[in-house]
């Protein structure tokens, strides 16, 4: 009989310190990339709605902030020049829709003013909301 003690083999080990570094760099990359994607977005708190529809035609984004600043496609416009700015877009497209993004603290009279301008120019208007 061959009775010898078998030599012990080294135990298998896995070093995960490099994986921690990789995960940290991936997390850092996604955090930086997510802030760069939309740096020019106007931050508004939209009212909530239970029924929402998406729009597929030519649209213009009109925004009213809580301090009553008006933006047409991310360009600030005075209230008096809003009709002219929207009229210029009306001449570029046949079927045009305004997507109105309004902060929920804005008075309804300011919203109605934009709705009147859209009605005079014969442009469809949709009020943007967030889902509940």
Q: Where do the structural domains in the chain lie, given as residue ranges?
A: 48-131
Q: How do residues 20-59 score in pLDDT, each as one tens digit? A: 888 999 999 988 887 776 655 667 777 777 766 554 468 8
* Count of other CB atoms within 10 angstroms of residue 124: 14
Say whether pLDDT at 116 is over 90.
yes
pLDDT class for 18, splitting at 50, 70, 90?
A: confident
**What CA–CA distance (Å, rounded) separates 12 from 82?**
72
Per CATH, domain 48-131 is 3.30.70 = no
15 vs 106, higher pLDDT: 106
Whether the full predicted model's pTM is greater than 0.95, yes or no, is no
- Which of the two residues, 14 and 125, has the higher pLDDT score? 125
Under 8 Å between Cβ of 48 and 132: yes
Q: 21 in helix, strand or coil? A: helix
State residue 35's pLDDT score.
72
More confident of the two residues 119 and 47:
119
Planar angle of CA 119, 124, 125, nearest 5 degrees: 90
pLDDT digits (tens, 9 = 90+) for 55-97: 446 888 999 999 999 999 889 999 899 999 988 888 877 788 8
């Amino acid at each position: 009989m061959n009775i010898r003690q078998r030599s012990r083999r080294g135990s298998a080990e896995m070093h995960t310190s490099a994986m921690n570094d990789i995960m940290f760099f991936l997390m850092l990359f996604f955090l930086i990339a997510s802030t760069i994607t939309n740096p020019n977005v106007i931050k508004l708190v939209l009212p909530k709605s239970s029924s929402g529809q998406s729009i597929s035609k030519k649209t213009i984004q009109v925004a009213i902030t809580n301090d009553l600043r008006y933006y047409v496609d991310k360009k600030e416009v005075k209230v008096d020049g809003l009709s002219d700015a929207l009229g210029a877009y009306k001449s570029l497209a046949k079927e045009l829709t305004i997507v109105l993004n309004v902060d929920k603290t804005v008075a309804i009279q300011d919203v109605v003013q934009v709705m009147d301008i859209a009605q005079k120019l014969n442009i469809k208007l949709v009020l943007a909301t967030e889902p509940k």
